[in-house]
């Protein structure tokens, strides 16, 4: 076991897959000589050269199109978005081309493409750098969406994403890169479509993902002191949603709270609520509750920014209300 930062876990995954498979390459802004905005590709250009770790111009639509074309020819591109917010400039390439080409080509093309990079609400990065794009991409057919949350799952998920024959949108949170934990020195893979049981419990199911996992864990420590036994699931897979793990938990607890950093309107929680109400309504003892970010552009002001995002105390209050 090695104590590893999340950004280093991602770097290790990329390095190992590039070493194993010569068709894997990285492209994006400042991924080469600079080593990536958050050092996920640090020094890889020294090992693999400037073609396999390719610095691109600031032209997201263009280099995403190049990546899709490369994937069509049998290469396995990893596109780093310097900030995932900027990938809205490549939305057409991701949706109309990456997501749909396997279908519109009658199965003649596979698109083994990973689009990864930092997203989420950071610390005073302003509205345009604080996007949560999971809701934007969720409706696109043909995509898989993953949100890593720990160094351990980051490495195992990225390796699986690189080996997958479908386009995978791989969300990393800008505030989680410096989280550190022990990860195995031997190789391991994590499935792209399974939620992770963070804590077993019997009173209520709390579903979350990405950075909110840590806010939930803080809240759960307080709730346990108050005598409650919450069960916590980290979704990890945002498309497809692992509804089976959620339902399995609901069969024990019969109450569901969803905590997300995504906006409330059309967010991941909205989709989970729809699926649960449509197919598993009889398992519920009461309405599903969701705690989501405010439906406003994220303010630059630190206090206002904090007020837009769900905080641990709000989670404690929601659980106590639901169980009282």
Return the DSSP state at 90.
G
On whether both 26 and 62 belong to a single domain, the answer is yes
Instruction: Return the pLDDT at 209.
Output: 98
On whether both 141 and 244 belong to a single domain, the answer is no
On whether both 166 and 38 belong to a single domain, the answer is yes
On whether both 133 and 200 belong to a single domain, the answer is no
Instruction: Return the pLDDT at 1.
Output: 81
Asked if residue 86 is part of any domain, the answer here is yes
Give the residue-averaged pLDDT of 102-124: 94
Q: Confidence band (pLDDT; 50, 70, 90) for 313? A: very high
The last residue of one of the domains, among 183, 214, 240, is 183
Over residues 226-269, the pLDDT tens digits come to 999 999 999 999 999 999 999 999 999 999 999 999 999 999 99
How does the average pLDDT of the chain come out, rounded? 96
Q: Is the pLDDT of residue 280 over 90?
A: yes
Instruction: Return the pLDDT at 130.
Output: 87
Q: Is the pLDDT of residue 129 over 90?
A: no
Give how many domains the chain has, as a whole number: 2
Asked if residue 110 is part of any domain, the answer here is yes
Over residues 9-34, the pLDDT tens digits come to 999 999 999 999 999 999 999 999 99
Give the residue-averaged pLDDT of 213-228: 98
Q: Is the pLDDT of residue 207 over 90?
A: yes
Q: For residue 167, what are the domain limits?
A: 2-183
On whether both 144 and 285 belong to a single domain, the answer is no
Which H or E run includes 13?
Answer: helix 6-20
Q: Is the pLDDT of residue 127 over 90?
A: no
What DSSP letter does each residue of 22-38 carry, written as one string? Answer: TTEEEEETT-SSS--TT
CATH code of residue 251: 3.40.50.920
On whether both 305 and 227 belong to a single domain, the answer is yes
Give the residue-averaged pLDDT of 307-312: 95
The helix/strand/coil state of 283 is helix
Catalytic residues: 60, 129
CATH code of residue 83: 3.40.50.970
Q: Is the separation of the CB atoms in 75 and 26 below 8 Å?
A: no
On whether both 131 and 264 belong to a single domain, the answer is no
3-state DSSP helix/strand/coil % of the chain, to nearest 5: 40, 20, 35
The last residue of one of the domains, among 126, 155, 183, is 183
Asked if residue 32 is part of any domain, the answer here is yes
């Amino acid at each position: 076991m090695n104590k590893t930062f999340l950004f280093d876990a991602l770097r290790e995954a990329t390095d190992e897959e590039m070493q194993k498979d010569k068709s894997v390459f990285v492209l994006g802004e400042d991924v080469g000589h600079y080593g990536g905005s958050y050092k996920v590709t640090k020094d890889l250009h020294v090992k693999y050269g400037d073609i396999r770790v390719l610095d691109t111009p600031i032209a997201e639509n263009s280099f995403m199109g190049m990546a899709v074309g490369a994937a069509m020819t049998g290469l396995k591109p990893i596109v780093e978005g310097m900030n995932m917010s900027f990938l809205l400039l490549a939305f057409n390439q991701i949706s109309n081309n990456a997501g749909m080409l396997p279908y519109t080509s009658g199965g003649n093309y596979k698109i083994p493409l990973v689009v990864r990079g930092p997203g989420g609400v950071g610390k005073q990065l302003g509205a345009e750098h604080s996007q949560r794009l999971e809701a934007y991409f969720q409706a696109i057919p043909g995509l898989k969406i993953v949100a890593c949350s720990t160094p351990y799952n980051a490495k195992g998920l990225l390796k699986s994403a690189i080996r997958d024959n479908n386009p995978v949108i791989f969300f990393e949170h800008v505030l989680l890169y410096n989280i550190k934990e022990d990860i195995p020195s031997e190789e391991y893979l994590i499935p792209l479509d399974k939620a992770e049981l963070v804590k077993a419990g019997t009173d209520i199911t709390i579903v979350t993902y990405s950075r909110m996992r840590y806010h939930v864990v803080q809240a759960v420590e307080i709730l346990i002191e108050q005598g409650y036994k919450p069960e916590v699931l980290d979704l990890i897979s945002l498309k497809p949603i692992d509804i089976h793990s959620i339902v399995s938990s609901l069969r024990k607890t019969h109450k569901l709270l969803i905590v997300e950093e995504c906006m409330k309107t059309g967010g991941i929680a909205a989709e989970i609520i729809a699926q649960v109400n449509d197919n598993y309504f009889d398992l519920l003892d009461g309405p599903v509750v969701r705690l989501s970010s405010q439906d406003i552009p994220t303010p630059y002001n630190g206090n206002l920014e904090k007020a837009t995002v769900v905080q641990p105390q709000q989670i404690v209050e929601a659980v106590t209300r639901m169980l009282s």
